């Protein structure tokens, strides 16, 4: 199944690759690295996560965006239920400088590879947050998720992220229940080349083809997914 997915993605994005094939990340999924994450100690990760609660919530549910004194404070991503390999990769990308954030870079610099694996496994063990906000008309997003758009060389989102937004074991993130504000900002960062730690530019290539209103719709669609 995974092989078929990879063939489909390659066929869809190959014409647009051009010079945008740089990895954007120093993580190599060797047997040793995969084993390190798989054997992460969730109990140790739970203890490490005590210092993460102030931002990412008691159970990794993240924080919703809010307006304080007329200023919007961006949401903080949910980590609960996230694919362990993905969380590990992001922490190591912060550590290596392949992804930048004032707070997270500092945090990641203080974590060993084993710490990152333990945290990743702990958060993966938690139930994904439920963020359903109501019955919105998200037909545009549903079409992109289930059908994509061949004319723009856009594969259906489910091919990589799963029919239920659950992600994949390698390093493709779970999207179900993620805060819409964070999801939207992430795709816009890929679209505008502000974030570039996606291996082989795969999300940058896709995001650049998406219209802003499609990104907004997809963000709400996945936030509402249970």
Say whether domain 2-224 belongs to CATH 2.40.260.10: no
Q: What is the pTM of this model?
A: 0.89
Cα torsion for 162, 189, 74, 211, to the nearest 10°? -70
Query: pLDDT per residue over 149-199, tens digit each?
Result: 999 989 999 999 999 999 998 899 999 999 999 999 999 999 999 999 998
CA atoms within 13 A on the CB side of 46: 6
Greatest extent of the chain over all pairs of C-alpha atoms, in Å: 51
- The full set of domain ranges for the chain reads 2-224
Per-residue pLDDT tens for 85-130? 999 999 999 999 999 999 999 999 999 999 999 999 999 999 998 8
Does residue 135 sit in helix, strand or coil?
A: coil
The two three-digit tokens of residue 81, written as one number = 């239920």
Residue 15 has pLDDT above 50, yes or no: no
Q: Which two tokens stand for residue 141?
A: 């997003």
């Amino acid at each position: 199944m995974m092989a078929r997915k990879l063939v489909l993605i390659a066929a869809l994005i190959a014409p647009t690759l051009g010079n945008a094939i740089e990895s954007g990340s120093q993580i190599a999924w060797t047997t040793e690295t995969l084993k390190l994450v798989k054997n992460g100690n969730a109990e140790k990760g739970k203890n490490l996560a005590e210092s993460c609660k102030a931002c990412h919530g008691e159970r990794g549910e993240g924080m919703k965006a809010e307006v304080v004194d007329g200023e919007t404070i961006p949401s903080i991503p949910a980590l609960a239920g996230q694919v362990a390999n993905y969380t590990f990769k992001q922490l190591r990308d912060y550590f290596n400088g392949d992804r930048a954030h004032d707070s997270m870079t500092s945090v990641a610099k203080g974590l060993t590879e084993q710490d990152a694996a333990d945290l990743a496994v702990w958060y993966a063990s938690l139930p994904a947050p439920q963020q359903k906000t109501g019955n919105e008309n998200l037909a545009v997003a549903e079409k992109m998720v289930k059908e994509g758009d061949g004319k723009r060389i856009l594969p259906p989102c489910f091919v990589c992220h799963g029919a239920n937004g659950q992600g994949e074991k390698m390093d493709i993130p779970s999207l179900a229940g993620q805060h819409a504000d964070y999801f939207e900002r992430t795709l816009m960062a890929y679209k505008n080349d502000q974030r570039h730690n996606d291996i082989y530019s795969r999300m940058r290539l896709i995001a650049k083809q998406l219209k802003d209103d499609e990104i907004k719709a997809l963000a709400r669609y996945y936030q509402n997914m249970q």
